[in-house]
Amino acid sequence: MSISKHNENVELSGGYRLDIGFRKSLLRRDVIALAFGAMIGWSWVLLTGEWILRAGAMGAAVAFLVGSVVVLLISLTYAELAAAMPKAGGEHVYALRALGYGPAFVASWAILMAYVTVCVFESAALPTALEYLFPDFRLLYLWSVQGEDVYLSMVLVGVAGSCLMTFINYIGIRFAAFLQTLVTLSFFLVGVSFIFGVFTYESSFDGPLFVEGGVGVLGVLVMVPALLVGFDVIPQSAEEIKLEPALIGKLLVWSVFLAGLWYVGITLAVAWALDSSTLVTTNMATADAMAEVWGSQVMGNIMLVAGIGGILTSWNAFVIGGSRVLYALAESRMIPAVFAKLHPRYNTPYISILLIGLLSCVSPLFGRTVLVWLVDAGSFAVVIAYIMVTWSFLRLRRSEPDMPRPFRVRYGKWVGRAALLLSCALFCLYLPGSPAALLWPYEWVMVLAGSMIGLAFYLWNRKAGVDALAGSTSGVSEDSS
């Protein structure tokens, strides 16, 4: 008995086959907007001052350059695999084919944790953005979290945003992709106008180029994986992309390159525009820098609106990516099968989308304090997924050298080894003893809680998952005969 009798098959490790399928509807512009908009969220407006203070202007730029090179190498392995296996689920499909059931679950659950942390980050960031536009926005005090006050008005905005993004994705990826393209283009033009405006501005910079040397650089570098997570949304939605597989791989790599340039450019522009005293006091460094460069608070507000656009594009992309990971896990019976249900009219994994929407409603209850914790915890999770994918890349290069690879990475063995080594090095940065280790207990509690939930699903569903995959194999054999 096959899992989904009307869908296409993907060959997996051990001879298993996974049946998954969606309608192809995403075009080239949709793919670029999906990946770039995912990587350029809200952090470039909210946290720019934070990472300049951590590492200094050049220290932060160096951190983004190094992090971008690492992620670019990793993206090359993704590009080859996505072009070779353009199926929903991304990491899940690659690791299942290359490494087997257990590693596939680890890879899938790690990327799912990263995606969910981004979605809940955005729901907490949205009311923070509106507060900048409307200073009297805080109404009806509820409680405090780590010294940060939480107000009912801000919670309601975060919940409303969660409901809106859930609805957009519920009714179909075509509409979600249209909005993604429109909003991404808008905030891109605003950001470019800021960067070019800096060239005509007399600098106010008076801070150090580096803060605490390598320690400061590492303090920003640990955030880069979460800030550049998003290119991997392309593999998650690859089955819905109406392009040649080789082009999918190329667009994936280019999206990482452009996002890296964006973060470096915005960081240096903000450092050039603001003096050190302003950086310490500002809550929205990029918006304040825009106002300073153009001599108008209206321009600062326009930058903030662009940042809100970044919230929406990142949020939208990760609802798409996260729901497809849940779908793939459920198709393999690694989690309850209900998450693999497709809406009969909209052809979306609507149960998975509703779950992510529900989780996004929780984070506004914690206020602004939770934002940095989510970035760091999400970075840790995504690095685990990177390790599993680069490992899968190397394993398939060895075990299946003749597998069709429409986008084939040159010097693949060396690129894969470098990507795996650098991913492992990033992983070590989060561990206790590192100057950039995750914060105890808050960030570690997020990681450990998510891991324990995943472990519970794995143990509970392992037999059903193995049996379902084996049944899918026999179903394919019967159909073939």
pLDDT of amino acid 209: 85
Give the whole-number percent of the chain exceeding pLDDT 70: 90
Query: Is the Cβ–Cβ distance between 129 and 308 less than 8 Å?
Result: yes
DSSP H helix total and E strand total for the chain: 19, 4
172 vs 11, residue with greater confidence = 172
Q: Which of 356, 366, 14, 26 is nearest to 174 (CA)?
A: 26
Q: Is the pLDDT of residue 4 over 70?
A: no
- What does CATH list as the number for 23-480? 1.20.1740.10
Q: What is the pLDDT of residues 329-356, one digit of tens each?
A: 988 888 888 898 888 888 889 999 999 9
CA atoms within 13 A of residue 266's CA, in its CB half-sphere: 32
pLDDT of residue 465: 56
Place of tokens 């899940």: 92
For residues 163, 169, 171 and 172, what is the CA-based torsion angle, rounded to 10 degrees? 170
pLDDT of residue 471: 57
pLDDT tens-place string over residues 69-92: 988 999 999 999 999 998 878 889
The residue with greater pLDDT, 362 or 13, is 362
Distance in angstroms between the alpha carbons of the first and the last residue of the chain: 14
The 10s digit of each residue's pLDDT in 182-208 is: 989 998 999 999 998 888 888 777 778
Domain ranges of the chain: 23-480
Give me the pLDDT at residue 385, please: 92
349-365, pLDDT tens digit by residue? Answer: 999 999 999 999 988 88
pLDDT at residue 373 tops 90: no
C-alpha distances in Å from residue 314, one per residue of 107, 122, 179: 21, 8, 12
Q: Distance between CA 318 and CA 79 in Å, rounded?
A: 18
- Burial of residue 280 (number of CB atoms within 10 Å: 0-12, 13-18, 19+): exposed
Q: Where are the alpha helices (DSSP H) in 11-100?
A: 28-39, 43-46, 48-55, 57-84, 91-98
What token pair was written down for 175?
Answer: 């509409």
Sign of CA dihedral 62, 63, 68, 73: positive
Residue 480: per-residue pLDDT = 32
